[in-house]
Structure 1
Amino acid sequence: MSDAGSKSHRPMVAIIIDDLGYKLSLGRDSAALPWPVTLSIIPFTPHAKHLAELAHNANKEVMVHAPMETMTERPWEPGLIQEMTEQEFVALGRDMLAAVPYATGLNNHGGSLLTASQDHMNWLMHLLHDQQFFFIDSRTSSDSLAEELARKNGVATESRDIFLDNVRDPQAVMAQLDRLEAIARKHGYAIGIGHPHPETLIALQAGLPAMQERGIELVPVSTLLEESDYRRRLASQTVHPQ
């Protein structure tokens, strides 16, 4: 983004639909949404490659939804775990990135344990920097170091602001969309994460057009990251009177 100014004066919202890869029909429905939602696909799942192709053909941004060890359990899928050596960790990480065609970013699936590990997050961010991927912290733990270490390693990054569908009810999801909009109006941008549940898709079909009518700009995650980076650089360059 140019230093001359922001591309948009409107608040920005990015919506990530993750947990994709197991159910083809719900993945298709997500890819068919007529807004620039970002689709995050679990690597090595039965429909990962096909859904990545569908998303790309529908002009949707694609991410890797990388399984990581939690405080209570290891990933169900092949995932990143604490006992891995650096070599094992990086090798699996590379395989994950390669398993989802067209992906340009990554967010954690689980990871309440692993995202709090400085060594493992540094390994991950070195890899993402090398591959020119961005990172979104799903914020499954308040102890996460992931966003901080992404910035230190030169990886474009932000954290999730709202989970949209912890309660699987269209009205509850609509209420979360309202919260997301309020955050975007306060800070200039906000990121919401949802899942390919029918209830979530119903709420998005109703809520996103209304959000646009109220002046919110719906954008892919990468566009929001450009805006957030611009705002951070602008803030750091501001000279305050002594």
Structure 2
Amino acid sequence: MAKRTKKRVTPKTKARDRSLWLYLLILLLCAGIVWMITLPDDAIEEPVKEPVARVAEFDLNKVIASLETKFSLPEGGISRKKSRGVEQLTLPVDRGKMDLSYANFIVKGVFETHGANLSSGRVEGGKQVLSFSRGEDEILVNLVYAAPAARKASSQKYIAIVVDDFGSVSGEMLQQWLELPTEVCFAIISRLKHSEETMNLANAQGRETLVHVPMEPIDYPRQNPGQDPILVQMDQARVEKTLLRHINSLPLCMGINNHMGSLATTDSDIMGWVMGVLKKKGKSFLDSRTSTVSIAYQEAQKARVPAYRNDLFLDSPNISDANLETRLGLVQELGQRKNTVVVISHCHNAEKLEYLKKFISRVKTLGFTLIPLSRVGKTDVPEIL
């Protein structure tokens, strides 16, 4: 077999190959440069110029006028002074209409619309202090609970009534409850035997309804809130899934209120997740206020969920004539501080129905007009910008 000889590569051959590759590389670079030079101008894509948002020229007098309009204050209702070169405003907030947290959002929106930025915020005793900056200027806004100066209180008083715990009531007893004025709202516990029936009958009357959602009380599990409660140990996904199960089972209800929940309504995470669901579903929230330290109403306002707040329970501690007189007195006192009062009762038996009928008759003679829950605060509370 003939032996195959291997072709020998000399150093000159290697050098010649390198020169050839270098020549080709230079040729390609030159071609690229020529192509770039001869490329038409319209073939080069220019970056998109974002429109520059126009900010209104800052005028503190206009800001004050806007705030007075937002808070239904008369001209001069916001006090103004200058101390050590810093403008200071004191804005009185009607506690019956909103809390300081909600007022905070409104003030921030007005200042930002006029070109100022929020620098800081702090709580001092019973007031909130917001610091805004515009260039080198600083403006302090003190939000305090106070009766607005020279503001005329409306002589018209309103009351909204919610009756809790429907879902088990049926037959003739349910029909008797349905004979109440249609302004009375029914709160229905989901997935009970007569829950859907109650919702449909109420809806046919034009009556508003709520889903009465079980939430964890302070003494859970000794006190049982019912099926599928929202518990504080739940994570976000579990809270959302549980709440959607309740809401979706009663789709005609305008919103929810809490059944028990003296612990759950004090948890900012739980309430924040609840409001997130309600916001997406377009539902409202009534804070039953089973706890004096509930933050549910404030969380609803932060999430911009339509929110209402119970002022008192009518049938607690009992349904005696003496308690009826006490409750009527409390409603009158509340009516002196705010135009609309919200109360809650329960549908447990015929005696409570008769008690509620007496209350409605008496409260009307005191000058209160019965309104649906959705009408509460419609003209009183300004929107956040």
Given the two structures, how large is their TM-score scaled by the length of structure 2?
0.55
Question: Larger RCO: Structure 1 or Structure 2 (Cα < 8 Å, ≥ 6 residues apart)?
Answer: 1
Query: Structure 1 residues 152-161 or 173-182, which shifts more?
Result: 173-182
Runs of 5+ consecutive residues of structure 2 not aligned to the other structure: 1-69, 73-153
For 1:59, the aligned partner's letter is: G
What corresponds to 1:96 in structure 2?
Answer: 246
Check whether the contact 2:160–2:343 (CA below 8 A) recurs between aligned residues. Answer: yes
What corresponds to 1:179 in structure 2?
Answer: 330
Distance 2:279 2:335 in 1: 27
Distance 1:77 1:225 in 2: 32
What corresponds to 1:50 in structure 2?
Answer: 197
Displacement of 1:101:
3.6
Distance 2:304 2:245 in 1: 22
Aligned pairs for 1:161-200 within 5 A: 161-171=311-321, 172-196=323-347, 197-200=349-352
For 1:157, the aligned partner's letter is: A
Displacement of 1:39:
0.3
Displacement of 1:77:
1.7
What corresponds to 2:93 in structure 1?
Answer: none
2:176 pairs with one of 24, 29, 46 = 29
For 1:149, the aligned partner's letter is: E
Displacement of 1:163:
0.4
What corresponds to 1:17 in structure 2?
Answer: 163
Distance 2:155 2:248 in 1: 36
Task: Give the count of matched residue pairs.
Answer: 227
Query: Structure 1 residues 185-194 or 199-208, which shifts more?
Result: 199-208
Q: Which runs of 4+ in 1 moved over 4 A?
A: none
Distance change >3 Å, CA 47–CA 143, structure 1 → 2: same
Please state whether the residue corresponding to 2:376 is helix, strand or coil.
helix
For 2:327, the aligned partner's letter is: Q
Check whether the contact 1:12–1:216 (CA below 8 A) recurs between aligned residues. Answer: yes
Distance 1:82 1:44 in 2: 22
Check whether the contact 1:21–1:27 (CA below 8 A) recurs between aligned residues. Answer: no
Displacement of 1:117:
0.8
Displacement of 1:145:
1.1
Displacement of 1:170:
4.4
Residue 39 of structure 2 is aligned to residue 39 of structure 1: no
Query: Structure 1 residues 114-123 or 70-79, which shifts more?
Result: 70-79
Distance 2:276 2:242 in 1: 14
Distance 1:99 1:185 in 2: 40
Please state whether the residue corresponding to 1:233 is helix, strand or coil.
coil
Check whether the contact 2:182–2:205 (CA below 8 A) recurs between aligned residues. Answer: no
Residue by residue, what CA displacement relative to the aligned partner does 1:139-198 show, whole Å, maximum 9, x if unpaired? Answer: 111221101110000011121111010133241235313422431343111110000132
Displacement of 1:105:
1.6
Distance 1:65 1:162 in 2: 17
What corresponds to 2:88 in structure 1?
Answer: none
Distance 1:173 1:46 in 2: 32
Check whether the contact 2:168–2:193 (CA below 8 A) recurs between aligned residues. Answer: yes
Distance change >3 Å, CA 55–CA 224, structure 1 → 2: same
Task: Give the number of the structure whose residues are more often helix, by fraction.
Answer: 1
* Structure with bigger gyration radius: 2
Distance 1:109 1:101 in 2: 18
Identity across matched positions, percent = 27
